[in-house]
């Protein structure tokens, strides 16, 4: 087996991975079909404005989730009879975080002095933050290794949302209608999560809030809250800065390239989320197996990311033309650069699980802050010099520093730096592909 987790004991995790993959593939298919259709319908200028609104909302998304995802999965794996207390506490914490995020979003819009139409567009899209709290049900499904219900939730919500979006396109709906759909997408998905949670014989009305659990969760998650905010900044700040420096059309071109480049980001997420329970188990009782699993996870991430980036670099121009049309052709060069950020995104996702297993979340924050700071600093000269292509260069450099080079700075994170460096040995790729025994 590729990761060496054991053909018998790990079969459950592989089945769970297939459901997680199905969930992300459903989202991916919807993005390729309906999402690209929307971009074609709106054109680069209006699509750029919609992307700008989504990016501005994205700056505050981490406040709505409070960095609880991985921590809550970890706690639910070992929850025992504390399930309802953990879920209830996490729900109310995230609900409070969502309201705070929306308030901060509205305040930020006043400070940057956007126009009244843009203000309304962003606030409407920002309503989606209020539904983030229900996402804890998805985390419960992950912790119990029953992600088929995540798949069913996503499938049903995507089908409903896609049907509405197609109707909007055929009806020649205005831009504001698609901003409403950003919030509607989140609401439909939240309803689907609740439905399948109840269908499993569980009752969200039994959730309860406990201050002691809230304190423990926030104590572990505060570095992730800060790092999540910073990650949101350096994943979304490019489009915000391009809008202020170059206008809506440039944002639309850049967003088209980024949408293709980031389409594969579900791959490390589904793999890492699925194997995380197995990694936690190994950490608790078998250090050599724990290290082995981490190394093979990193090897797999490198193999997949480099392969993906190489293929997209080769077919970048025809791919953009096929998906978005001639109006978006300038996005091809951006895509060929931006896609190489995937290598460091794949590593970063795997690293996030290692940080949680080692309880070293604060160092995740250090890397995120460094990367965001560097991205903002590089954006100004590079965008001025190379236009939207400069933003892509800035992204790749800042991701490399954040997800890889920063690990070499501290003794306690150097182990992950070494494991990642090991993956750069081409010989490991051949060993990765060979069948393995093991536990």
Q: Say whether pLDDT at 154 is over 90.
A: no
Report if residue 438 sits inside a domain: no
The answer to whether 68 touches 221, Cβ cutoff 8 Å, is yes
pTM for the complete prediction? Answer: 0.77
- Expressed as residue numbers, the domain containing 33 is 11-433
The answer to whether 125 touches 252, Cβ cutoff 8 Å, is no
The pLDDT tens digits for 328-364 are: 999 999 999 999 999 999 999 888 888 877 878 778 7
pLDDT of residue 27: 73
Q: Higher-confidence residue: 64 or 27? A: 64
Span of 7-11, 85-89, 332-336, 337-341 with lowest mean pLDDT: 7-11
Residue 156 and residue 148: Cα distance in Å, rounded?
12
Confidence of residue 69 (pLDDT cuts 50, 70, 90): confident
The answer to whether 215 touches 93, Cβ cutoff 8 Å, is no
Report if residue 6 sits inside a domain: no
- Mean pLDDT estimate for the chain: 84
Q: Say whether pLDDT at 64 is over 70.
A: yes
The answer to whether 439 touches 5, Cβ cutoff 8 Å, is yes
The answer to whether 90 touches 65, Cβ cutoff 8 Å, is no
Rounded to a whole number, what is the distance in angstroms from the first to the last CA of the chain?
10
Residue 75 and residue 415: Cα distance in Å, rounded?
25
How remote is the C-alpha of 268 from its chain's centroid? 10
Span of 78-82, 210-214, 259-263, 366-370 with lowest mean pLDDT: 78-82
Rounded average pLDDT over 151-170: 90
Report if residue 267 sits inside a domain: yes
3-state SS of the chain? CCCCCCCCCCHHHHHHHHHHHHHHHHHHHHHHHHHHHHHHHHHHHHHHHHHHHHHHHHCCHHHHHCCCHHHHHHHHHCCHHHHHHHHHHHHHHHHHHHHHHHHHHHHHHHHHCCCHHHHHHHHHHHHHHHHHHHHHHHHHHHHCCCCHHHHHHHHHHHHHHHHHHHHHHHCCCCHHHHHHHHHHHHHHHHHHHHHHHHHCCCCHHHCCCCHHHHHHHHHHHHHHHHHHHHHHHHHHHHHHHHHHHHCHHHHHHHHHHHHHHHHHHHHHHHHHHHHHHHHHHHHHHCHHHHHHHHHHHHHHHHHHHHHHHHHHHHHHHHHHHHHHCHHHCCHHHHHHHHCCHHHHHHHHHHHHHHHHHHCCHHHHHHHHHHHHHHHHHHHHHHHHHHCHHHHHHHHHHHHHHHHCHHHHHCCCCHHHHHHHHHCCCHHHHHHHHCCCCCC
Tokens of 229: 């905010």
The answer to whether 14 touches 2, Cβ cutoff 8 Å, is no
Residue 100 and residue 198: Cα distance in Å, rounded?
28
Residue 357 and residue 116: Cα distance in Å, rounded?
46
Report if residue 352 sits inside a domain: yes
Q: Say whether pLDDT at 115 is over 70.
A: yes
Residue 71 and residue 361: Cα distance in Å, rounded?
10
Sign of CA dihedral 78, 84, 87, 92: negative
pLDDT of residue 16: 62
Q: How many domains does the chain have?
A: 1
Report if residue 439 sits inside a domain: no
pLDDT of residue 17: 62
Neighbouring residues of 152: CB distance < 8 A, sequence distance ≥ 6: 192, 196
Tokens of 204: 């969200």
To 10 degrees, what angle do helices 266-285 and 69-77 make?
40
Confidence of residue 12 (pLDDT cuts 50, 70, 90): low
Tokens of 218: 């926030």
Span of 196-200, 258-262, 359-363 with lowest mean pLDDT: 359-363
Q: Which residue, among 241, 299, 314, has the nearest Cα to 420 in the 3D structure?
A: 299
The pLDDT tens digits for 117-137 are: 989 999 999 999 999 889 889
Q: What are phi and psi of 291, to 5 degrees?
A: -65, -40
């Amino acid at each position: 087996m590729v990761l060496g987790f054991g053909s018998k004991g790990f079969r459950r995790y592989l089945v769970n991975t297939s459901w997680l993959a199905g969930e992300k593939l459903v989202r991916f298919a919807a993005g390729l079909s309906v999402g690209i259709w929307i971009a074609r319908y709106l054109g680069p200028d209006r699509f750029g404005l919609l992307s700008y609104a989504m990016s501005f909302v994205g700056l505050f998304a981490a406040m709505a989730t409070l960095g609880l995802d991985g921590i809550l999965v970890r706690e639910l794996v070992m929850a025992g009879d504390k399930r309802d207390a953990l879920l209830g506490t996490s729900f109310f914490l995230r609900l409070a975080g969502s309201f705070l995020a929306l308030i901060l979003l509205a305040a930020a819009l006043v400070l940057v002095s956007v126009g009244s139409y843009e203000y309304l567009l962003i606030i409407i899209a920002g309503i989606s933050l209020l539904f983030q709290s229900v996402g804890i049900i998805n985390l419960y499904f992950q912790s119990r290794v029953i992600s088929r219900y995540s798949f069913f939730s996503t499938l049903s919500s995507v089908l409903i949302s896609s049907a509405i979006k197609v109707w909007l396109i055929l009806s020649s709906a205005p831009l504001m209608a698609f901003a409403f759909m950003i919030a509607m997408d989140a609401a439909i998905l939240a309803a689907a999560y609740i439905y399948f949670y109840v269908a499993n014989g569980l009752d969200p009305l039994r959730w309860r809030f406990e201050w002691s659990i809230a304190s423990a969760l926030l104590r572990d998650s505060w570095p992730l809250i800060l790092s999540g905010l910073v990650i949101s900044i350096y994943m979304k700040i490019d489009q915000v800065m391009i809008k202020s420096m170059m206008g809506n059309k440039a944002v639309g071109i850049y967003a088209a390239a980024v949408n293709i480049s980031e389409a594969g980001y579900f791959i490390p997420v589904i793999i890492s989320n699925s194997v995380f329970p197995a990694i936690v188990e190994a950490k608790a009782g078998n250090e050599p197996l724990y290290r082995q699993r981490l190394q093979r996870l990193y090897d797999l991430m490198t193999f997949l990311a480099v392969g993906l980036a190489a293929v997209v670099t080769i077919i970048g121009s025809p791919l953009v033309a096929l998906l978005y049309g001639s109006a978006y052709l300038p996005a091809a060069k951006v895509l060929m650069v931006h896609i190489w950020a995937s290598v460091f995104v794949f590593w970063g996702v795997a690293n996030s699980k290692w940080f949680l297993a080692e309880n070293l979340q604060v160092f995740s924050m250090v890397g995120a802050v460094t990367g965001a700071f560097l991205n903002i600093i590089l954006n100004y000269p590079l965008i001025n010099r190379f236009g939207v292509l400069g933003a892509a260069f800035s992204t790749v450099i800042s991701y490399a520093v954040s997800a890889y080079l920063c690990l070499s700075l501290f003794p306690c994170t150097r182990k992950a730096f070494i494991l990642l460096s090991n993956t750069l040995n081409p010989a490991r790729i051949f060993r990765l592909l060979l069948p393995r025994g093991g536990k």
